[in-house]
Amino acid sequence: MTEGERQILVQLRKEPHRFGWLIGKTKLRPMHSQWVHHVWHPTQSRALMAHRGSYKSTGIVEVGVPWWLMFHPNDRIAICRNTKTDAEQAISVFRNTMRMPEVRELFKMAHGEYPEFTVDQSDHVSWSFKKTMTREGNIDGYGIDSSMTGKHYDIILCDDIVTKEDRYSHAKRQ
């Protein structure tokens, strides 16, 4: 890795919102980098609440997941959304992000090889940079009623598990 490549990766690690800009998420700001660092903590479970339309899912999920994998390639991440279909839609975003030439180049800088899909399913994706052999993928998707029994994840990210439509139901919120 050249010194210039190392500096690019150092900058992206400090400011994940810039990675977001690279993949077309141009409304992200330095505040979103703070959110990413807050939520994507390596040893603590953390949550974030902010108003609707503040780009939480964009910054923390759509940018945060590939950004995290750039620096933690063997991590197993579970995305939990209200429904499994919602989780699969999030995984579709990651799938498209990882196909972008600019992102492929960044991952080559970080890992010495272009990321190639080793598993590419609607609810389960892995790339060639994951060197540990586990039944969990780099990213797996679940709805709130999906079973995760017997699965082991490094990160479990819950996003929009209670929707605007659910907010009136105490049972659904529980």
The pLDDT score that the predictor gives to residue 124 is 96
Q: Cα separations (Å) of 44 from 21, 81, 138? A: 27, 20, 20
Q: Give whole-number Cα distances, 77 to 65, 142, 152, 169, in Å.
A: 8, 11, 9, 29
Angstrom distance (rounded) from CA 5 to CA 104: 13
CA–CA gap between residue 156 and residue 45 (Å, rounded): 9
Cα–Cα separations (whole angstroms), residue 149 to 24, 86, 152, 166, 172: 36, 20, 9, 25, 21
pTM over 0.85: yes
What confidence score (pLDDT) does residue 62 get?
94
Handedness of CA 7, 10, 11, 12 (dihedral sign): positive
Q: What pLDDT, on a 0 to 100 scale, did the predictor assign at position 173?
A: 57
The residue ranges of the chain whose pLDDT is under 50 are none
